Amino acid sequence: MPESINFETEPSKYRHWHLTVDGDRARLDLNVQESEGLRDDYVLKMNSYDLGVDIELADALQRLRFEHPQVKVVILGGVMDRIFCAGANIQMLRSSTHAFKVNFCKFTNETRLYIEDASENSDMRFLCALHGTASGGGYELAMAADKILLVDDRSSAVSFPETPLLGVLPGTGGLTRLVDKRKVRRDRADIFSTIAEGIKGKRAVEWNLVDALAPLSTFDEKVKEFADTMATELPEKSDRVGIALKPITPTANGENLSYKYVDVAIQNDGRVAAITMTLPENATQPETGDAARELGSDWWVLQLFRELDDALLRLRVNRDLVGVITLHTRGSVADALTMDDTLEALKDHWFVNEVRHQIKRVLKRLDLTAKSLFAIADEGSCFAGTFLEILLSADRSYVLNDPDFPVSLGVSQLNGGLYPMSNGITRLETRFLGTPDQVGRILEAAGSFDAETADELGLATSAPDEIDWEDELRVAIEERTCFSPDALTGMEANLRFAGPETMETKIFGRLSAWQNWIFQRPNAVGERGALTCYGTPNRPEYNYQRT
């Protein structure tokens, strides 16, 4: 693996995507540079991608929402003749560690969900213009779009070759979107997922694998026609003026990272990471949406959550020995609640709306991070409103309950529904699934309250006094780091998303299950496994026992 992967980039540094914006239209064209992968032990042939390609795509999606809010339709296309994208690079997967493969697939899943989130919440639609074949992850990217147009040239197809060729499964939500989003009939989906060459032409339309076909001679005209139709369904956005997303690169101090509002400290021989989020003192809140937009990416709440997002990604990919993340806040509960009042009062402004959804996405990233999460509410903490969501995302919450060391928490109206989890309900509703009336009681306690009240409301897993505080935390953390990481990942992924199942929970639940199993099975990655043998003269050898 590269020694340290950086998730910060911007359009002038893109190597694989080309972003162009013209009024209310944007194009993202994929042109993967074969020799510019994150490592030099594979070649990105046939527009196949690695994590670096997807880091650029994720950055472009963020910039479209914040820097180009006037855009109504985004066309996902490419420049390579007869091929859109061959999916994840097989040599990259074959030569990567198991942990990297899983985190790579998790990031690509989140990026595709961000496309769907922009469509749902930002008056922005996506059209995937397949001028050539889309295989595996390439077709999974297409399915994240609102519409798919396929060139009708007798050779271009859509396909999921993972099962017949590699002994694995589509890793970016493909099977789930196939039947849950595109509503492909399950018997047809079964056939499609076992035909390596895929399906093309009228059959692809009949099975709802794509929305329409167009011959090469009129393909560009059809793309424009689709884009025009999609744009007319959206409100006027030409008066929106975007903001620049400034870099948030942290300062490294040994293993530790320091941003402006977020600090990451590596502890316990690299087994624990402490993330501390510090709210600015007496920050002036914007009174209008335009005033908030003038602050741009310097608005502290946006910058803090962008920093938290970056920190989580670095911990996932660069710190696989970290098993426990302790979550800390510092600042005023009153300031946190005032921030929420501002986010609610100005929600009709496009920029504030985007900030709210950015926070939602970062909180989901926290939920989906395969580390044990312990929230630590001690003296000086401010788990209130939006920041209470961070405590609610944790597997356990420890609240210091001692009159000599006052601790306050707080609830705002934003805890009532702005930040749903992947299961479609709030963290409060998920926490109190068995006692739903408790959610209303907590929301009625709007404002700040002390540690004892927090414990009575059920917001604390444990609320020791000062005498027991340090010992209880030490024992809990030491115990957690001694358990099997595999078992903990499975346990946490099951327990965090109680309640209803959605397409999103299916994608990530199955991701945790099948990748932590199939990606380590000999049929896929053994000496004669399909993933190992792909691209070599060797044929895979399977153990045909079903388990």
Coil, strand or helix at 7: coil
What is the mean predicted confidence (pLDDT) over 185-189?
A: 98
- Averaged pLDDT of the chain: 95
| Alpha-carbon gap, residue 519 to 488, rounded angstroms | 18
* pLDDT over 90 (residue 435): yes
pLDDT-based confidence at residue 486 (cuts at 50, 70, 90):
confident
| Alpha-carbon gap, residue 390 to 328, rounded angstroms | 9
List b or e across 50-77, with b for residues whose CB sees 16 or more CB atoms inside 10 angstroms: bbbbbbbbbbbbbbbbbbbbbbbbbbbb
Give the pLDDT confidence of 202-261 residue by residue, as tens digits: 999 999 999 999 999 999 999 999 999 999 999 999 999 999 999 999 999 999 999 999
Helices (H) and strands (E) in the chain, counts: 21, 19
At the fourth CATH level, the homologous superfamily of domain 11-232 is 2-enoyl-CoA Hydratase; Chain A, domain 1 (3.90.226.10)
| Alpha-carbon gap, residue 34 to 43, rounded angstroms | 5
* pLDDT over 90 (residue 16): yes
| R_g of the chain computed on alpha carbons | 24
What is the mean predicted confidence (pLDDT) over 278-304?
A: 96
Give the pLDDT confidence of 326-381 residue by residue, as tens digits: 999 999 999 999 999 999 999 999 999 999 999 999 999 999 999 999 999 999 99
pTM for the predicted model, two decimal places? 0.96
* pLDDT over 60 (residue 524): yes
Residues contacting 407, CB < 8 A, separation 6+? 377, 378, 379, 381, 399, 400, 401, 450, 451, 454
Give the pLDDT confidence of 45-54 residue by residue, as tens digits: 999 999 999 9
* pLDDT over 60 (residue 322): yes
| Alpha-carbon gap, residue 427 to 431, rounded angstroms | 6
* pLDDT over 70 (residue 3): no
Pair 389, 529: CB distance under 8 Å: no
DSSP per residue, 270-315? GTEEEEEEEPPTTPPPPSSHHHHHHHGGGSHHHHHHHHHHHHHHHH
* pLDDT over 70 (residue 134): yes
* pLDDT over 60 (residue 2): no
List b or e across 149-158, with b for residues whose CB sees 16 or more CB atoms inside 10 angstroms: bbbbbeebbb
Lookup: tokens for 314: 């670095």
- Phi then psi dihedrals of residue 321, to 5 deg: -80, -20
Smallest Cα–Cα separation from 301: which of 266, 341, 264, 265? 341
pLDDT-based confidence at residue 511 (cuts at 50, 70, 90):
confident
pLDDT-based confidence at residue 1 (cuts at 50, 70, 90):
very low
307, amino acid identity = E
Domain boundaries, the chain: 11-232, 254-488
What is the mean predicted confidence (pLDDT) over 70-92?
A: 95
* pLDDT over 90 (residue 515): no
The residues pairing with 73 across neighbouring beta strands, listed in sequence order, are: 25, 125
- Same-fold call for 11-232 versus 254-488: yes
pLDDT-based confidence at residue 517 (cuts at 50, 70, 90):
confident
What is the mean predicted confidence (pLDDT) over 432-443?
A: 97
pLDDT-based confidence at residue 124 (cuts at 50, 70, 90):
very high
- Report which of residues 511 and 274 the model is more confident about: 274
Per CATH, which fold does 254-488 belong to?
A: 2-enoyl-CoA Hydratase; Chain A, domain 1 (3.90.226)
Give the pLDDT confidence of 140-175 residue by residue, as tens digits: 999 999 999 999 999 999 999 999 999 988 888 999
Dump strand ranges (E) for 65-140.
73-78, 83-85, 125-130, 133-135
Pair 393, 363: CB distance under 8 Å: yes
- Strand pairing class (83-85; 133-135): parallel
**CA torsion, points 34, 35, 41, 43, in degrees to nearest 10?**
20
Please state whether 173 falls in left (phi above 0), alpha (psi between -120 and 50) or beta: left
| Alpha-carbon gap, residue 464 to 476, rounded angstroms | 13
pLDDT for res 431: 97
Please state whether 33 falls in left (phi above 0), alpha (psi between -120 and 50) or beta: beta
pLDDT for res 546: 85
Dump strand ranges (E) for 139-226.
147-151, 157-159, 199-200, 212-214
* pLDDT over 50 (residue 119): yes
